[in-house]
Amino acid sequence: MADAHLTRLPDDTANILQARAGTLSPAKFAHVVCLTSQLDVMRDWYMIVLNATVSFENDRLCFLRYDDEHHRIGLIRYDDLQPMPAAPAAVVDHFAFTYRDLPELLGTYLRLKALGITPYWTINHGPTTSIYYKDPDGHKIELQVDNFTNEECDAFFAAGKYEENPIGVIFEPEAWIRRYADGEMVASITSRPALPPGMTPHDMIRL
């Protein structure tokens, strides 16, 4: 239908639109939609974890928002879903949400821990500090903060530091909270250390 409409445009208009699109990327990533057989449970979990609110809801679907977008998370109820694959499979591995700074991320970790929501993986990737959770359906959710500016990240990649360890180093959030409380600079806390002796990047993976 769109192609048929374009054929009715003057040739110069169609050429201009196509030329402009040659260097265009999307303006933003809009939302993620999950199918679920437990709509209420998933809705409540995301409302807690993301401090989100409901922008639309009925008995079949729910849209959640936490910023200026009308919805960031969509949940659609299906009653006869197949279970999540137990082993790694060709599916989306995880989706991530970025906080403004390390205190926000650590504060969110403490807030969720007090509510009984605990991570399965806490890892300093190098470019990011990341705390991973699983939602009630088993989707992996990453809460992260950038450790670098874009320029610093490019330099980190160019120096080969990510290639030598593309996973990161596991960290203990409570230890980082103590370091922050003691006045240590955030850049020092988030500086990725070497791997523990005798360990490889693969040893840092948690599924």
Q: What's the confidence (pLDDT) of residue 87?
A: 75
DSSP one-letter string for the chain? -HHHHHHTS-HHHHHHHHHHHTT---S----EEEEES-HHHHHHHHHHHHT-EEEEE-SSEEEEESSSSS-SEEEEE-SSPPPPPSS--SS--EEEEEESSHHHHHHHHHHHHHTT---SEEEE-SSEEEEEEE-TT--EEEEEEESS-HHHHHHHHHTTHHHH-SS-EE--HHHHHHHHHTT--HHHHTS--PPPTT--GGGG---
State the average pLDDT over residues 171-198.
Answer: 97
The whole-number pLDDT of residue 1 equals 46
Q: What is the mean pLDDT of residues 20-33?
A: 92
pLDDT of residue 6: 52
Tell me the per-residue pLDDT of 40-54, one tens digit each, with 9 for 90 and over.
999 999 999 999 999
Predicted confidence (pLDDT) at residue 174 exceeds the cutoff of 90:
yes
Confidence of residue 88 (pLDDT cuts 50, 70, 90): confident
* pLDDT of 17 over the 80 cut: yes
